[in-house]
A = this chain, B = another copy of it.
Amino acid sequence: MLKNIPKIISPELMKVLLEMGHGDEILLADGNYPCHSVGVKVVRLDGHGIPEILKAILKYFPLDTFVEENVLLMDNNLSTKPEIWKSYEEILYDSKEDFRVKVLERFKFYERAKNVFAIVATSESALYANIILKKGVVKT
């Protein structure tokens, strides 16, 4: 643990976030996501939901403003969208980042996820809660 850093960010997760560059993507995956068969680095955060992790990450993580979308969600193909998306929207809004959401059809989301920099394996139990973030430029 360190001063001023949320406890939920493990040493390994922080290292991964620092190593990511402009355009790299990270997937926050729900508890049922087949994380280990994707073939990319997996950081496990068992026992946690996604919103608390999303909030902690966005304290440090700039979203990419060079592209049309920097937040990707997996579609449930229903008229009623997953409840958890609302909390995502609030967290994104509070982060003051310029977020641009796109909803991807389920299998297109799986395709996209094959090229992420890393996957955070959570225990989120809400359905269709998976979310990909695209990293932007850190201004100094």
Contact = CB atoms under 8 A, between A and B. Distances in A.
Interface of A: 1-24, 29, 31-37, 44-48, 52, 59-62, 117, 123, 125, 127, 135, 137-138, 140
A130 B129 CA distance: 34
19 contacts: A1-B32, A1-B138, A1-B140, A2-B17, A3-B60, A3-B138, A5-B60, A7-B46, A9-B46, A11-B15, A11-B46, A14-B14, A15-B15, A20-B36, A23-B34, A32-B138, A34-B117, A48-B48, A127-B137
A31 B14 CA distance: 16
Count of this chain's copies in the oligomeric assembly: 10
A3 to B, nearest CB: 5
